A and B are shown apart, each in its own frame.
Chain A
Amino acid sequence: MSGPNKYQPTSAFGKWFHERLPIVGFAKDHMLDFPTPKNLNYWYTFGGILAVMLVVQIITGIVLVMHYTPQTDLAFNSVEHIMRDVNYGWLLRYMHMNGASMFFIAVYIHMFRGMYYGSYKAPREVLWMLGVIIYLVMMATAFMGYVLPWGQMSFWGAKVITNLFSAIPFVGDTVTTWLWGGYSVDNPTLNRFFSLHYLLPFVLAGLVALHIWALHVPGNTNPTGINIKGPQDTVPFHPYYTMKDAFAIVVFFMFYALFVFYGPNYMGDAVNYVPANPLVTPAHIKPEWYYLPFYAILRSVPDKLFGVIAMFSSILILLALPWLDTSKVRSGNYRPIFKGFFVVFAIVCVALGFIGSKPPEGSYVVWGRILTAYYFIHFLVILPLLGLLETPNPLPASIADDVLAKKKPMMLAPAE
């Protein structure tokens, strides 16, 4: 990765091993000594929270597979078997189920943090794009996981989402038949989704390794957005950020536990406790909450193909964000007008989520269209123009200067 390996083993065995596999030195450089800006706030702890959530999902997932049966006649009952018969099965399933929602809560905060502090700007474009790819793989993984309990929402969610591919001109039907392994969502579909749902988290782990690698080339951004100018701007990752991250993780776990123990089905849909029936569509189908903004965009376009294109574009446009934002100033803290637009954009995203949860009727349709238009205008018009028109506030000389300026009153206090 970056920088020389400064690790000097003290024991004879340590030296022998280091010469053959320098993994301890590598870990020391990247997990303990890594120079990190000293001014990171709690918004920067969500990367660590996400890494822990991925591990939680993998561990709970592996043990759930020990009791689950991926077969259309048995899948629903095997999930109920986990809930009723398996020792602590209810806890493991609720951890996995709510863990997915927590994963998305953390990833959305992590993404908005990156958008506010301009973390995607040069030289971190590849880091950002890897993040977008991680987000896409996460969405695919969560979608296939939701199909596995084989309830009504599992089945119809799978049917609607796979049918998105039927909008592709000429080959759409061939592609959907291939995805299903039949003429509808059925046992072959459940089997392949199970296989891929088990695979993709490990792909995610690999992508996360690349994401951290790309992070450790330039190092972290920070709330001032200015580069590290010397050792006075940084602290070693351990113990400063291992402790800060650990504290944030504990607080996040308390929030997570609140749902697991007191509202395990709060974020789910009751209809998914009805076994899948391929002949009856539930009266009101909607995806899990974390897809709702994109579902709203899909429904806001009255044409099938263009609706699907708009939905996929709304995610893929994030890949172009480093080039759409023309401002030379990284952090939103020093961009007075951008700040306002950022808040509006965040509200629009939440509002789109609300529209996605409502039936496509009346004023919901109109609002859905206005908000969808604004979503794209933010990226394609506001961000490029703002960078050219806005006058940013003066930046501090260095990270250390900024930190000291804020801490001055407290530093003076003991001297009185």
Chain B
Amino acid sequence: MHVRHPVARLIAEAVSKTHRSERRGFTRVTHIYDKEFGEVSTADHAPTDVNRRDFLFIATGAVAAVGGALVAWPFINQMNPDAAVLALASIDVDLAPIAEGQAVTFKWRGNPLIVRHRTKPEIEAAKAVKMEELKDNVARNANAKNGDLATDENRVVGGKAEYLVMLGVCTHLGCVPDGANPSREFAVVEGATKTGGWFCPCHGSQYDTAGRIRKGPAPENLAVPQYAYLSDTKIRVG
């Protein structure tokens, strides 16, 4: 019996070209079966014909492929963050006890969150940097607009330049950059020694006092997470 619907016929024709051998296999088996029962009818299985079996062949294959993909999804998606992980996704931080020049590390979403109360010289050093000196001139601040430049103002929230809040996760391969010693000297720019900022011990990436990548393999500035001021000295992160 021939496939009558024009679209189905088109698909069946295309498949019959690529799957001729399978179709012959079908024909042969049917033939033996018919032989056993003494009734031979070959009209439906002429090798060049596009018939209903071709259409059923792709239709079945398509259903199996889609079904397989649908069943695979839960097995893939189970590895994504679960509800319990997502529920722990925000914390409140009191900034008042953090003295000027002090940095405190909190644990947020399993990662270190660095909150630094910057000193005046640190802020001024960060403000003095020109955009063309930066390796990555995008703000990388979840609170800034897309495409904002990595100026010092765009690295903090609400114009509060003294509090720098960012993830202590090196954008290279995820180690915690060390900012414990603000007077440590290192070459932020080739040939010019600067102080402060963060240094990643794993592969030597160096970040300035606004957490911007200046040297080493890391591609991006340290990420500033989404946070908002609940009061003058209190923030909610996440």
Query: Which residues of A are in contact with B by a Cβ distance under 8 Å?
Result: 156, 159-160, 162-164, 166, 177-186, 188, 192, 278-285, 299, 302-305, 307, 360-361
- Mask, B183-210, CB within 8 Å of A = 1, is 0000000000000000011111000000
Which residue from chain A places its CB closest to the CB of B110 in the assembled complex?
Answer: A184
On whether the beta carbons of B80 and A278 are closer than 8 Å, the reply is no
Q: Which B residues lie within 8 Å of A305 (CB)?
A: 219
Chain A nearest CB: distance from B40 CB in Å?
36
Q: Which B residues lie within 8 Å of A162 (CB)?
A: 174
A-B contact count (CB 8 A): 88
Which residue from chain A places its CB closest to the CB of B77 in the assembled complex?
Answer: A178
CB of B182 within 8 Å of the partner chain: no
- Bound: A192/B107 CA distance, A: 22
On whether the beta carbons of A156 and B80 are closer than 8 Å, the reply is no
Q: Which of B79, B81, B89, B176 sits near A279, CB closer than 8 Å?
A: B176
A302-B217 contact, Cβ under 8 Å, with A279-B107, A360-B203, A361-B204: yes
Chain B nearest CB: distance from A59 CB in Å?
29
Q: Which B residues lie within 8 Å of A360 (CB)?
A: 203-204
Q: Which A residues lie within 8 Å of B178 (CB)?
A: 281
On whether the beta carbons of B202 and A160 are closer than 8 Å, the reply is yes
Which residue from chain A places its CB closest to the CB of B219 in the assembled complex?
Answer: A304
Q: Which B residues lie within 8 Å of A183 (CB)?
A: 81, 85, 89, 109-111
- Identify the interface centre among B76, B80, B204: most chain A CB within 10 Å of its CB: B80
- Bound: A100/B219 CA distance, A: 34
On whether the beta carbons of A278 and B173 are closer than 8 Å, the reply is no
A-B contact pairs, 7 of them (CB 8 A): A163-B172, A178-B79, A183-B85, A279-B105, A281-B201, A302-B217, A304-B173
Number of interface residues of B (CB under 8 A): 29
On whether the beta carbons of A307 and B110 are closer than 8 Å, the reply is no
Query: Which residues of B are in contact with A by a Cβ distance under 8 Å?
Result: 76, 79-82, 85, 89, 105, 107, 109-112, 168-169, 172-176, 178, 200-204, 217-219
Further 16 A-B residue pairs, CB within 8 A, beyond A180-B81, A186-B85, A192-B79: A160-B174, A160-B175, A160-B202, A163-B174, A181-B79, A181-B82, A182-B81, A182-B85, A183-B81, A188-B81, A278-B107, A281-B202, A283-B201, A285-B202, A299-B217, A304-B172
Chain B nearest CB: distance from A247 CB in Å?
45
On whether the beta carbons of A188 and B85 are closer than 8 Å, the reply is yes
On whether the beta carbons of B85 and A181 are closer than 8 Å, the reply is yes
On whether the beta carbons of A188 and B174 are closer than 8 Å, the reply is no
- Bound: A164/B79 CA distance, A: 18
- Bound: A278/B167 CA distance, A: 12
On whether the beta carbons of B201 and A179 are closer than 8 Å, the reply is no
Which residue from chain B places its CB closest to the CB of A308 in the assembled complex?
Answer: B173
On whether the beta carbons of A159 and B175 are closer than 8 Å, the reply is yes
Q: Which of A160, A177, A285 sits near B81, CB closer than 8 Å?
A: A177
- Identify the interface centre among B109, B200, B217: most chain A CB within 10 Å of its CB: B217
Which residue from chain B places its CB closest to the CB of A179 in the assembled complex?
Answer: B79
Which residue from chain A places its CB closest to the CB of B176 in the assembled complex?
Answer: A281
Chain A nearest CB: distance from B63 CB in Å?
28
On whether the beta carbons of B175 and A279 are closer than 8 Å, the reply is no
- Bound: A299/B174 CA distance, A: 14
Q: Which A residues lie within 8 Å of B203 (CB)?
A: 299, 360
Q: Which B residues lie within 8 Å of A285 (CB)?
A: 175, 201-202
On whether the beta carbons of A156 and B175 are closer than 8 Å, the reply is yes
A185-B201 contact, Cβ under 8 Å, with A159-B175, A192-B79, A307-B217: no
On whether the beta carbons of A278 and B79 are closer than 8 Å, the reply is no
Q: Which A residues lie within 8 Å of B105 (CB)?
A: 279
- Bound: A312/B140 CA distance, A: 29
A278-B85 contact, Cβ under 8 Å, with A284-B201, A304-B217: no
Chain B nearest CB: distance from A174 CB in Å?
9
Chain B nearest CB: distance from A223 CB in Å?
43
Which residue from chain A places its CB closest to the CB of B112 in the assembled complex?
Answer: A279
A163-B80 contact, Cβ under 8 Å, with A185-B110, A186-B110: no
Which residue from chain A places its CB closest to the CB of B169 in the assembled complex?
Answer: A184
On whether the beta carbons of B201 and A163 are closer than 8 Å, the reply is no
On whether the beta carbons of B109 and A182 are closer than 8 Å, the reply is yes
Q: Which A residues lie within 8 Å of B110 (CB)?
A: 182-186, 278
Which residue from chain B places its CB closest to the CB of A158 in the assembled complex?
Answer: B174
Q: Which of B85, B176, B217 sits near A303, CB closer than 8 Å?
A: B217
A159-B80 contact, Cβ under 8 Å, with A183-B109, A183-B110, A279-B112: no
Q: Which B residues lie within 8 Å of A177 (CB)?
A: 80-81
- Bound: A280/B179 CA distance, A: 11
Question: Closest 7 interchain pairs by CB?
Answer: A184-B110, A183-B109, A163-B174, A163-B173, A281-B175, A160-B173, A281-B176
Which residue from chain B places its CB closest to the CB of A279 in the assembled complex?
Answer: B112
Which residue from chain B places its CB closest to the CB of A174 in the assembled complex?
Answer: B80
- Bound: A123/B15 CA distance, A: 35
- Bound: A177/B86 CA distance, A: 12
- Bound: A237/B43 CA distance, A: 58
Chain B nearest CB: distance from A167 CB in Å?
8
Chain B nearest CB: distance from A299 CB in Å?
6
- Bound: A177/B81 CA distance, A: 7
